[in-house]
């Protein structure tokens, strides 16, 4: 797989394009990202949101209109897509699929599959539920890569003092993250990439930040 990344907007929110042998996934298309996305995709399969904050979903509506592919967002954050709840001028766009906690999806070159068999060719997209920064905040695992949104950054974590955030849920999520028993690259919503094991070394510090 190939991962393309570019930061957009005043918060320099990372938008990712994941290019697989089956097609391309768009992750967190922030403000001003539409043209870059359209110039760099070949066979778009889905738009995936790690969570519902405006700087991660700003171009959902524009890309959905252009590409007519499914838009997936964690169920608990869907309300942020359905209305401009922060009054920032966002063009609302309800998700096609409100993702349940830790739900897994399968895609092939023709799009989202209803079911898969053992001999089917597909790529798996897994939403990993880590609420706190937002009610539905999730990491998205595709192949051997995880897109951590605003949950985990390189040497930092997402804030839990925003509207709809929860420090208690964030603490629980950080403790859960510390128990992951494998390593994998992490691509966050802001800043540079890191790994699970690198950030697990900071769990004690992160818990005191909350």
Q: Is the pTM of this model over 0.75?
A: yes
Structural domain total, the chain: 1
Helices (H), the chain: 34-40, 54-57, 60-67, 78-82, 167-177, 196-200, 203-209
Does position 8 have pLDDT exceeding 90, yes or no?
yes
Burial class of 102 by CB neighbour count within 10 A (0 to 12, 13 to 18, 19+): exposed
Q: What is the CATH number of the domain that holds 10?
A: 3.60.15.10
Answer yes or no: is 117 within a domain.
no
Provide the pLDDT for residue 42: 95
Provide the pLDDT for residue 80: 97
Burial class of 137 by CB neighbour count within 10 A (0 to 12, 13 to 18, 19+): buried
Q: DSSP code of 77? A: G
Give per-residue pLDDT as tens, 190-205: 999 999 999 999 999 9
Answer yes or no: is 115 within a domain.
no
Give per-residue pLDDT as tens, 104-137: 999 999 999 988 877 678 999 999 999 999 999 9
Answer yes or no: is 114 within a domain.
no
Distance of alpha carbon 3 from alpha carbon 182, whole angstroms: 21
Give per-residue pLDDT as tens, 170-189: 999 999 999 999 999 999 99
Provide the pLDDT for residue 117: 73
Answer yes or no: is 116 within a domain.
no
**Where is average pLDDT lowest: 9-18, 29-38, 107-116?**
107-116
Answer yes or no: is 12 within a domain.
yes
Best CA proximity match to 35, nearest among 51, 17, 10, 21:
17
Give per-residue pLDDT as tens, 57-99: 999 999 999 999 999 999 999 999 999 988 999 999 999 999 9
Best CA proximity match to 153, nearest among 6, 13, 8:
13
Provide the pLDDT for residue 119: 65
Q: Residues 37-53: what's their mean pLDDT?
A: 98
- Containing domain of residue 139, as a range? 2-109+123-209
Mean residue pLDDT across the chain: 96
């Amino acid at each position: 797989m190939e991962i393309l990344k570019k930061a957009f907007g005043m918060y320099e929110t990372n938008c990712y394009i994941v290019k697989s042998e089956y097609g391309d996934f768009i992750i967190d298309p922030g403000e001003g990202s539409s043209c870059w996305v359209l110039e760099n995709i070949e066979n778009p399969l889905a738009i995936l949101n790690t969570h519902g904050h405006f700087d991660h979903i700003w171009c959902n509506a524009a890309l959905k209109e252009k590409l007519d592919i499914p838009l997936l967002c964690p169920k608990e954050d869907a309300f942020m897509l359905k209305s401009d709840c922060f009054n920032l001028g966002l063009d609302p766009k309800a998700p096609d699929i409100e993702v349940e906690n830790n739900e897994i999806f399968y895609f092939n070159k023709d799009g989202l599959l209803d079911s898969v068999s053992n001999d089917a060719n597909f790529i798996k997209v897994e939403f990993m539920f880590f609420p706190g920064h937002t009610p539905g905040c999730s990491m998205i695992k595709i192949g051997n890569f995880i897109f951590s949104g605003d949950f985990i950054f390189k040497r930092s974590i997402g804030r839990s003092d925003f509207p709809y955030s929860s420090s208690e849920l964030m603490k629980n999520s950080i403790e859960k993250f510390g128990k992951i028993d494998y390593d994998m690259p992490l691509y966050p919503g802001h800043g540079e990439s890191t790994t699970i094991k690198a950030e697990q070394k900071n769990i004690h510090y992160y818990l005191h930040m909350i």
